[in-house]
C-alpha cells in the first residue's frame, strides 16, 4: 500500500512529503459571490456557506462573479518554505490568502490583467509554521474564460526545479515554431509561393496566441500591453483562423483542386474578420464574444478539413498531410473546449492538448509543403526530360563538334609541347658549352679585365638559361604538369647561399642589402630548389627596380600543428613602387606594369606568375604591399614539414657572454647584425657615431666596423677611431662596388675583412678555419673518380671538348664518339663501364643507338645515361622506358656528373670507409631527438636484423637475385630510420649493384654483410642503449 502525498486528519490537509506537487483542488470548498465582491474577512465570517465541489474537476464554469475556495492545511514536515500556485494562466484576477487564526501569514494579488508577476501562474511563497493549522483562501474571477483553478502546494526548492523544466519545455516549443517560421520565410524569398507566406503568418499568429495563453507575455512586456492582449484573446483566435484560411486557399490551390469548398472557407474568413472587428470595438459581452469565436473556429477547421478531402479526391496528393494535420488539431481543440465547458475534466493533458496539436499540425504542414514542392519538382523534371528528349539530336551533334575541338586542342598542345622540347634542346645544348667553358676560364688565373669579361659572359648565359627555364615552367603550369619535389634541406644554408649572391649584385648598384634573420629550424622538408627559384625571382625584381636605397630579405617562421612549419620570407625594397591599379596586372602572364617600364627594365613578364603558382603548389601564399615611389614588399608564406626542431640561431658556447661592439651608420643594417649576435648569446653594444666609438675605453672581445657603400669617404675617420679601441679582434664589414679586402693597408687595423651583410656562415669563419672553396672541393672529388672506361657521345664537338677539359686529369679513360653510328661501332669493339649518350643527333639518334648497343656482346649491360636538354618529365620517363638507365640534364653541372659517375661505377666517397657501425647521435637525430622513439626503433631494427641477413644469404646462395634485391631493399629501408651508417652504405651499394645487374659486385658486397651485422650488434650491446 503506497503512502499518500497528503493525509486527512480532523479535516486538515497534512503535508507529510517535500518532493512532490500536492494537489489541493479535491479538498477545496467553494463559495460563489452573488453580489458585490467580498473581502477576506467578510468571507471568513461566511465560512459555513462554503460547499464541496462535486467530483475532482477544478473547473468552476463561466461566471462574471468571483468564486472563493477554502481549505485548511497543517505542515508536519521539517521544511518551512512552501509555494502555493494556481496552475491556469487565463484567470483575470487571483487573490491568495493564508491565515493563522486572524493573522495573515501571506497574500498575493495576481492574474493576467494585473502587473509585475514573477511566474506565469499566480503564485504565493510563504513560510509555514510546524504542525499548526492554517486557512487557505483563494478568490478567482474572469470575464472571458472558464474559472479553471487547479490549486497546488509544493516546497520552494521543488517549485524552482519544476519551473526550470517548464521553461525548458516552453523554450523548445517556441524554438521549434520560430525555426519553422523562419524556414518557410526563407523558402518564400526563394520560391515566391504565397502559401509559404500565409503559413509564416499562421505560425507567427500561433506564437503570439501561445505567448498570451501560456502566460509568458505578462512576464516580458509592459502591463498595458499584457492587459489589452489578455482581454482580447479571442482576437488572436480570429487572426489564427484568417491566416489558416489564407494558407488553405493558397496551399491547396482551391480554385483548381477544391472549388466547392472555397465558398465556405471565404464565409468563415469573413465571419472571423467580423468577430475580430467586434472584439476591437467591444460590441459583444465577453462570454458571447468568446463563444462565437470558438464556434466559428470549429466551423473553419471543419471546412478546412473538408477542403483537404476534396483536393485529395482531385489528385492533389500533398493534401493527405493537410487532412491529417487539421484532423489532429480539430480533435485536440475539441478536447480543450470541452474541458473549458466543464464537459471534460481539467488536467495537464486537457490544459495543453491544443498546444500539442498546434505543434504537430505545424510539423505536418511543413511536410505537406515539402511534399507539394517535391511533386512540383517531379513535374518540372518530367517536363525538362521531355525537352531534353526533343533536343537530343542537337545535343549529340554539339557533342561531336566539341569532341573534334577537344582533339584539335590536344593535338595543338602536343605540337606546342614538342616545340618547347625541341627549343629547350637547341638552346640548352650550346648553353652547356658556354657555361662550362666560362666557368673553367673563371677559375684560372686571369688579369682583372679578362676575369670581368668572363664574368659578363657567365652572367649573360645564366640569364638566358633563366629565361628558358621561365618559359618552360610557364608551359608546365599551363599543362598542369609543374611538380614539387620535397626533400630535407637546411633553410639557413639555402638563405645564406642566396644572400651571398644577391648582396654582391646589390652592392654593384650601390644598394645596401639587409639580411634580417630570425631563428629557423636546422632541417625542413620541402622543395628548396623551387623556394630558391621564387626568392631569386623576387630579389632579382627588387634589385632591378631599385636605383638607390636598400633591398631587405627577412626570414622567420612559426611551428604549426601536426609537424608543419610555416616559413615566412619577406622581400622589401626602396624602389619605384607599384600603384594599386598596376598591382592587378603583375600576376598575369607576359604582363608588365606599363610600356615605359618594359623599355627601361627588360623581362619576359613570366616571373611573378611562376612564383605565384610555385607558392600555391607549396601550400603557401604570395602577397604584395606597395606604394608608388616608396618601394614594395613581397611576403612569401610556405608550409614545410618539420624535420629537426633544433634552431640554428641559438645560444652558442663560443659566443656566450662575449662583449661586442657593432658599429654601423645604417640603422636597419645595424639592428639586423646586432640581433644575430644577440641570439648567439653575445652582449652587443650598437654604435652609430664615431664620437661614441672614440670614447670607448674598456676591453671588448670583438669589434665589428661596418662601412656602407655611401660612407667610404669617412673611412679615414673610422680608421682613426678604431685605432684606440681596446680589442685584439676587429672585423671590417663593407659594401659597395670596390672590395676593401684588396687594400693591404687595412690589415693593420682589422683581423678579418668581409662583405656585408653579416651571416651565420661568416661568423663561423671567425671562429673556425674556413672550409675549402667549392672549386677546390670539386677538384678533390675529381681525383677520387675510379679507373673506369667512359664513352661520351654527342654530335656537337664543343660539348665533348668541355667533358674532355673537365675529366682530363682524372683516372677515367674517356672515349669520344661524334654520332650514334660511331658510338655503336665503338661498342662493338670495346667494353665500357659507362656511356654518356646525347639524345638528339642527326641520322641516328640516342634512342636508336641505345637499342643497337644493347644488342652488342661487349656492352649488353653497360649503364647508358641520357644526356638531354629535354625539360619535361614525360620526355625523361620516355627515355628511361626506352632502355636507358638514367639521365643527366643539360647544361651539365660538374658536381652532378661526378655524382652520376660514382653512382653507376659504384665508387663510394672516402668518408664512407671510416663510417661507424653504430652511431647513437645519428639515431637520435633521425628520431627528432626523441630518445624513447630512438630506442624503440633501434630495438625493432636489432630484432629483425639477423632474420633479414639470413634471408639475403639464402637468396644469394640460391642465386635468386630478384628475392635478394627485395630483401636488401627491406634492410636498406630499415637502416634509414636509425644510426647504422656502415650498414646503410653497404646496403646501398648492394642494392645499386643488383639494380644494374652487376651480380659479381653484389656478391662481393654480400660477403661483408655477416661480419658487419655482427660488428653492429656488438657495438649496440657495448653502448648499453637498449
Average pLDDT for 46-50: 89
Q: Where are the alpha helices (DSSP H) in 606-680?
A: 607-617, 667-679
Rounded to 5°, the CA angle 738-540-617 comes to: 150
Q: Could you tell me whether strands 564-573 and 103-110 are parallel, antiparallel, or unpaired per DSSP bridges?
A: unpaired
Percent of the chain with pLDDT over 70: 85
- Check pLDDT > 70 for residue 597: no
Please, which residues have CB within 8 angstroms of residue 527's CB and are 6 or more apart in sequence?
484, 485, 486, 487, 618
Residues facing 27 on adjacent strands = none
- Local confidence band at 800 (pLDDT 50, 70, 90 cut-offs): confident
Distance, in Å, from the CA atom of 124 to the CA atom of 109, rounded to the nearest integer, reads 9
- What does the pLDDT read at residue 29? 92
Q: pLDDT, tens digit, for every residue of 107-157?
A: 999 888 777 778 888 999 999 999 899 999 999 998 777 888 889 999 999
What's the whole-number mean pLDDT along residues 825-834?
91
List beta partners, residue 72: 135
CB count in 10 Å sphere of residue 279: 23
Residues 70, 50: contact at Cβ < 8 Å? yes
| DSSP letter for each residue of 523-556 | EEEE-HHHHHHHHHHHHHHHHHT-SSSEEEEEEE
Residue 217 has pLDDT above 90, yes or no: no
Mean pLDDT of 801-806: 84
pLDDT (0 to 100) of residue 683: 93
CB count in 10 Å sphere of residue 121: 19
The pLDDT of residue 502 is 87
In the chain, the N- to C-terminal Cα span, in Å, equals 73
Is the model's pLDDT at 422 over the cut of 70? no
Confidence of residue 301 (pLDDT cuts 50, 70, 90): confident
Residue 7 banded pLDDT, cuts 50, 70, 90: very low
| CA dist., res. 774 & res. 895, Å (int) | 10
* C-beta of residue 533 within 8 angstroms of C-beta of residue 608: no
462-478 per-position pLDDT tens digit: 667 666 776 666 666 66
So what's the pLDDT on residue 598? 44
**For residue 105, what pLDDT is reported?**
92
The alpha carbon dihedral of 175, 176, 177, 183 has a sign of: positive
- For residue 166, pLDDT over 60 is answered with yes
Question: What's the gap between Cα 197 and its chain centre?
Answer: 40
Residues in a beta bridge with 22: 153
Contacts of 539 (CB under 8 A, 6+ apart): 498, 502, 551, 553, 571
Q: Is the pLDDT of residue 864 over 70?
A: yes
Predicted pLDDT of residue 431: 66
Q: Please say if the pLDDT value at position 535 is more than 60.
A: yes
Which of the residue ranges 108-112, 564-568, 761-765 has the most confident prediction, judged by mean pLDDT?
564-568
CA distances from 778 to 33, 85, 773, 810, 838 (A): 119, 99, 9, 12, 24
Strand partners, 642: 524
> What is the pLDDT at residue 558?
93
Mean pLDDT, the chain, as a whole number?
A: 82
Rounded Cα–Cα distance for residues 196 and 369 (Å): 8
Neighbours of 280 (CB within 10 A): 11
pTM of the model: 0.45
Q: How far apart are CA 782 and CA 806, in angstroms?
A: 9
Q: What is the mean pLDDT of residues 431-440?
A: 66
Mean pLDDT of all residues in 956-982: 86
Look at 426 and 335; give whichever has higher pLDDT. Answer: 335
Are 683 and 658 in contact by the 8 Å Cβ rule? The answer is: yes
**pLDDT at residue 448 in the model:** 57
The backbone region for 116, taken as left when phi is positive above 0, alpha when psi lies in -120 to 50, beta otherwise, is left
Q: Distance between CA 635 and CA 584 in Å, rounded?
A: 16
Specify the pLDDT at position 10: 38
Distance CA 987, CA 1005 (A): 8
Least confident of 2-11, 393-402, 776-785, 892-901: 2-11
Question: Does 853 or 784 have the greater pLDDT score?
Answer: 853
Residue 912: band (very low, low, confident or very high) from pLDDT cuts 50, 70, 90: very low
Burial track 841-860 (b if 16+ CB lie within 10 A, e otherwise): beebbbbebbebbbebeebe
Q: How confident is the model at residue 98 (pLDDT cuts 50, 70, 90)?
A: very high
The predicted-structure confidence for 717-762, as pLDDT tens digits, reads as follows 888 888 888 888 899 898 877 667 667 667 778 888 888 999 998 8
Q: How far is CA 825 from CA 125, 822, 831, 856, 865, in A?
A: 116, 5, 11, 10, 18
Res. 574 pLDDT band, cuts 50 70 90: very high
The dihedral built from the CA positions of residue 404, 408, 414 and 417, taken in this order, carries a sign that is negative
- Of 422-426, 569-573, 606-610, 644-648, highest mean pLDDT: 569-573
pLDDT tens digits along 674-726 = 999 999 999 999 999 888 888 888 899 999 999 887 666 778 888 888 888 88
| pLDDT, tens digit (0-9, with 9 covering 90-100), for 362-384 | 777 777 777 777 777 777 777 87
Amino acid at each position: 500500500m503506497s503512502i499518500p502525498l497528503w493525509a486527512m486528519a480532523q479535516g486538515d490537509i497534512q503535508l507529510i512529503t517535500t518532493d512532490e506537487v500536492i494537489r489541493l483542488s479535491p479538498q477545496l470548498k467553494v463559495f460563489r459571490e452573488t453580489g458585490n465582491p467580498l473581502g477576506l474577512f467578510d468571507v471568513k465570517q461566511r465560512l459555513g456557506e462554503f460547499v464541496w465541489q462535486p467530483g475532482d474537476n477544478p473547473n468552476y464554469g463561466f461566471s462574471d462573479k468571483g468564486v472563493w475556495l477554502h481549505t485548511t492545511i497543517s505542515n508536519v514536515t521539517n521544511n518551512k518554505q512552501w509555494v502555493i500556485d494556481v496552475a491556469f494562466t487565463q484567470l483575470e484576477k487571483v487573490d491568495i490568502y493564508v491565515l493563522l487564526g486572524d493573522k495573515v501569514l501571506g497574500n498575493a494579488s495576481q492574474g493576467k490583467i494585473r502587473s509585475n508577476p514573477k511566474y506565469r501562474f499566480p503564485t504565493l511563497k510563504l513560510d509555514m509554521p510546524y504542525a499548526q493549522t492554517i486557512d487557505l483562501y483563494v478568490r478567482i474571477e474572469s470575464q472571458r474564460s472558464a474559472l479553471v483553478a487547479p490549486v497546488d502546494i509544493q516546497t520552494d526548492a521543488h517549485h524552482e526545479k519544476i519551473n526550470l523544466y517548464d521553461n525548458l519545455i516552453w523554450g523548445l516549443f517556441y524554438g521549434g515554431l520560430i525555426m519553422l517560421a523562419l524556414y518557410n520565410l526563407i523558402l518564400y524569398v526563394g520560391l515566391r509561393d504565397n502559401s509559404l507566406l500565409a503559413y509564416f503568418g499562421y505560425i507567427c499568429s500561433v506564437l503570439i496566441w501561445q505567448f498570451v495563453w501560456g502566460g509568458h507575455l505578462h512576464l516580458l512586456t509592459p502591463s498595458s500591453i499584457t492587459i489589452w492582449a489578455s482581454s482580447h484573446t479571442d482576437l488572436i483566435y480570429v487572426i489564427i483562423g484568417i491566416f489558416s484560411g489564407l494558407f488553405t486557399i493558397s496551399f491547396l490551390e482551391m480554385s483548381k483542386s477544391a472549388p466547392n469548398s472555397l465558398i465556405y472557407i471565404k464565409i468563415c474568413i469573413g465571419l472571423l474578420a467580423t468577430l475580430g472587428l467586434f472584439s476591437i470595438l467591444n460590441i459583444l459581452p465577453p462570454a458571447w464574444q468568446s463563444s462565437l469565436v470558438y464556434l466559428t473556429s470549429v466551423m473553419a477547421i471543419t471546412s478546412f478539413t473538408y477542403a483537404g478531402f476534396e483536393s485529395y479526391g482531385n489528385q492533389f496528393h500533398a493534401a493527405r498531410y493537410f487532412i491529417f494535420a487539421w484532423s489532429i488539431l480539430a480533435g485536440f481543440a475539441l478536447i480543450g473546449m470541452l474541458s473549458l465547458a466543464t464537459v471534460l475534466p481539467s488536467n495537464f493533458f486537457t490544459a495543453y492538448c491544443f498546444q500539442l496539436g498546434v505543434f504537430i499540425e505545424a510539423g505536418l504542414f511543413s511536410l505537406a509543403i515539402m511534399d507539394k514542392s517535391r511533386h512540383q519538382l517531379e513535374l518540372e523534371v518530367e517536363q525538362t526530360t521531355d525537352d531534353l528528349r526533343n533536343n537530343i539530336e542537337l545535343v549529340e551533334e554539339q557533342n561531336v563538334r566539341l569532341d573534334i575541338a577537344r582533339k584539335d586542342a590536344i593535338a595543338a598542345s602536343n605540337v606546342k609541347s614538342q616545340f618547347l622540347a625541341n627549343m629547350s634542346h637547341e638552346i640548352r645544348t650550346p648553353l652547356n658549352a658556354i657555361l662550362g667553358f666560362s666557368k673553367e676560364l673563371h677559375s684560372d688565373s686571369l688579369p682583372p679585365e679578362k676575369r670581368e669579361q668572363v664574368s659578363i659572359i657567365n652572367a649573360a648565359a645564366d640569364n638566358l638559361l633563366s629565361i628558358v627555364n621561365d618559359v618552360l615552367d610557364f608551359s608546365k603550369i599551363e599543362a598542369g604538369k609543374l611538380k614539387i619535389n620535397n626533400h630535407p634541406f637546411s633553410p639557413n644554408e639555402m638563405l645564406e647561399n642566396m644572400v651571398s649572391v644577391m648582396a654582391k649584385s646589390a652592392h654593384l648598384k650601390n644598394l645596401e642589402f639587409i639580411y634580417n634573420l630570425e631563428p629557423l629550424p636546422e632541417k625542413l622538408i620541402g622543395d628548396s630548389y623551387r623556394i630558391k627559384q621564387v626568392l631569386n625571382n623576387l630579389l632579382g625584381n627588387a634589385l632591378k627596380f631599385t636605383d638607390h636605397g636598400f633591398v631587405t630579405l627577412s626570414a622567420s617562421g612559426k611551428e604549426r600543428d601536426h609537424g608543419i612549419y610555416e616559413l615566412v620570407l619577406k622581400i622589401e625594397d626602396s624602389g619605384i613602387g607599384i600603384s594599386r591599379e598596376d598591382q592587378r596586372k603583375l600576376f598575369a602572364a607576359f604582363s608588365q606594369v606599363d610600356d615605359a617600364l618594359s623599355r627601361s627594365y627588360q623581362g619576359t613578364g613570366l616571373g611573378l606568375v611562376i612564383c605565384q603558382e610555385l607558392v600555391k603548389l607549396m601550400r603557401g601564399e604570395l602577397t604584395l604591399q606597395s606604394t608608388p615611389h616608396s618601394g614594395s614588399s613581397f611576403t612569401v608564406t610556405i608550409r614545410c614539414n618539420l624535420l629537426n626542431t633544433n634552431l640554428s640561431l641559438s645560444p652558442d658556447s663560443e659566443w656566450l657572454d662575449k662583449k661586442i661592439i657593432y658599429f654601423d651608420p645604417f640603422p636597419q643594417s645595424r639592428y639586423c647584425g646586432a640581433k644575430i649576435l644577440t641570439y648567439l648569446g653575445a652582449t652587443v653594444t650598437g654604435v652609430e657615431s664615431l664620437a661614441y666609438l672614440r670614447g670607448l675605453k674598456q676591453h671588448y672581445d670583438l669589434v665589428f666596423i661596418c662601412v656602407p657603400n655611401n660612407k667610404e669617404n669617412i673611412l679615414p675617420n673610422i680608421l682613426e677611431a678604431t685605432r684606440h679601441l681596446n680589442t685584439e679582434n676587429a672585423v671590417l664589414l663593407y659594401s659597395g662596388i670596390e672590395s676593401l679586402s684588396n687594400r693591404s693597408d687595412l690589415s693593420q687595423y682589422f683581423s678579418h675583412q668581409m662583405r656585408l651583410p653579416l651571416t651565420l656562415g661568416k661568423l663561423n669563419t671567425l671562429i673556425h678555419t674556413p672550409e675549402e672553396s667549392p672549386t677546390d672541393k670539386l677538384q678533390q672529388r675529381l681525383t677520387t673518380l675510379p679507373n673506369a672506361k667512359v664513352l661520351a657521345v654527342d654530335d656537337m664537338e664543343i660539348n665533348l671538348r668541355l667533358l674532355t677539359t673537365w675529366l682530363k686529369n682524372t683516372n677515367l679513360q674517356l672515349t669520344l664518339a661524334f654520332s650514334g653510328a660511331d658510338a655503336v661501332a665503338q661498342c662493338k669493339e670495346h667494353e665500357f663501364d659507362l656511356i654518356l649518350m646525347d639524345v638528339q643527333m642527326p641520322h641516328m639518334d640516342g634512342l636508336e643507338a641505345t637499342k643497337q648497343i644493347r644488342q652488342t656482346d661487349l656492352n649488353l649491360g653497360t649503364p647508358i645515361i641520357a644526356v638531354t636538354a629535354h625539360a619535361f618529365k614525360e620526355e625523361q620517363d620516355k627515355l628511361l622506358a626506352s632502355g636507358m638507365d638514367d639521365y643527366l640534364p643539360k647544361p651539365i653541372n660538374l658536381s652532378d656528373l661526378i655524382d652520376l659517375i660514382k653512382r653507376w661505377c659504384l665508387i663510394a666517397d672516402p668518408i664512407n670507409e671510416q663510417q661507424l657501425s653504430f652511431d647513437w647521435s645519428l639515431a637520435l637525430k633521425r628520431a627528432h631527438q626523441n630518445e624513447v622513439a630512438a630506442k624503440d626503433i633501434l630495438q625493432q631494427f636489432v630484432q629483425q636484423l639477423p632474420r633479414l641477413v639470413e634471408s639475403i644469404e639464402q637468396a644469394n646462395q640460391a642465386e635468386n637475385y630478384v628475392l635478394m634485391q627485395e630483401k636488401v631493399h627491406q634492410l636498406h629501408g630499415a637502416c634509414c630510420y636509425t644510426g647504422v651508417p656502415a650498414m646503410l652504405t653497404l646496403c646501398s651499394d648492394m642494392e645499386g649493384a643488383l639494380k644494374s645487374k652487376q651480380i659479381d659486385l653484389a656478391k662481393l658486397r654480400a660477403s661483408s654483410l655477416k661480419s658487419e651485422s655482427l660488428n653492429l650488434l656488438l657495438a649496440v650491446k657495448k653502448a648499453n642503449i637498449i
